[in-house]
Amino acid sequence: MATVQKLKKKLRGIESTQKISKAMKTISSIKISQLNNVYNKYNEYGAECERLYEEYKSDLLSALPQINENAPACYVVITSNKGLCGGFNLDLLKFADEEIEKSENPFVIACGKQAIAHFTQKNIRFEKEFVFKDIPEYTEAVELLNCVSELLREEKISSVNVIYQKYTNMMKQTPCVQEMFIDDEDKKAKSKALLMPDKQTVIENIAPVVFQSIFYKLLLEVALGANAATLMTMRSAYDTATEYCMQLESEINRQRQSAVTADVIETASEYTE
């Protein structure tokens, strides 16, 4: 049986874990609140960009450089920068490895410190790397899109596949791959709006904005999912640490009471003798 001194030492360690998990839980809650504010402000603008994309998909895609079908497929893997978020990154990177293995000579772009560390450790070659802020900025989506557009223009890649955790809610994020810039419907514009000064000029000007918006939404989803996973993990760690502290305190008090009782019995026996 552990002594009271050892139990106290263990209790101090658990209390330190309790404080750290509580602090990280608070930080994650603040970041989620900030991200929700950013997402809500962006949502109306993003929804309009999505509507334009659906209505003018074929025309917007025609504004992109011609795709070289003989070039390798590009995989953009987006993880969080930090760990301590449960299986958020592990599940995503396992999914990413399986997807990348399907392609011969893939062109990999690692986004996030966890992705960079993973590919470096596994000796998986990646051509480009990006580290985004915990609360992504729109300019970061612009930078990523410019990189992908330049690769298409130079005919270095044949497709763009974004691998990320799709945010559903606080409790659920699902690894998925989204192939970008694909006209699966092969339809012309649904809208009969009059575009001025002419359709081609309007399409060429709005295409970058629409694609930037799509990339930015992906970055926001990843950030929301990462912080939600961190919050859930730290909440579980805090609750477990709290319960363990209560058990240790109870055991310490029990041993103290046993020691006091033993002393009382011993003292009483001396007087009776």
87-97 pLDDT tens trace = 899 999 999 99
Whether 253 and 136 share a structural domain: no
Q: Tens digit of pLDDT for each residue in 137-153?
A: 999 999 999 999 999 99
3-state secondary structure 15-78: HHHHHHHHHHHHHHHHHHHHHHHHHHHHHHHHHHHHHHHHHCHHHHHHCCCCCCCCCCEEEEEE
Band of residue 273 on the pLDDT scale cut at 50, 70, 90: low
The tokens describing 210, both together, are 């629409």
Same structural domain, 194 and 256: no
Element (H, E) at 167: strand 159-169
The pTM of this model reads 0.84
Residue 172 lies in a domain: yes
Q: 3-state DSSP: the chain helix, strand, coil percent, rounded to 5? A: 65, 10, 25
Residues 96 and 140 in one domain: yes
Residues 128 and 258 in one domain: no
pLDDT level of residue 192 (50, 70, 90 thresholds) = low
Domain harbouring 208, CATH code: 3.40.1380.10
Give the pLDDT confidence of 208-242 residue by residue, as tens digits.
Answer: 999 999 999 999 999 999 999 999 889 998 999 99
For the beta carbon of residue 26, count every other beta carbon within 10 angstroms: 13
Which has the higher per-residue pLDDT, 256 or 139? Answer: 139
Residue 272 counted as domain residue: no
The total domain count for the chain is 2
Same domain, yes or no: 115 and 244: no
Same domain, 241 and 203: no
Q: Tell me if 116 sits within 8 A of 32, measured CB to CB.
A: no
User: Which range, of 34-43, 58-67, 185-194, 214-223, averages the lowest pLDDT?
Assistant: 185-194
Same domain, 166 and 255: no
Residue 152 counted as domain residue? yes
Residue numbers of the domain that contains 145: 24-231
User: 205 and 75, same structural domain?
Assistant: yes
Let me know whether 174 and 255 are in one domain: no
Is 83 in the same domain as 47?
A: yes
Pair 106, 211 in one domain: yes
- Same domain assignment for residues 251 and 132: no
Residue 12 lies in a domain: yes
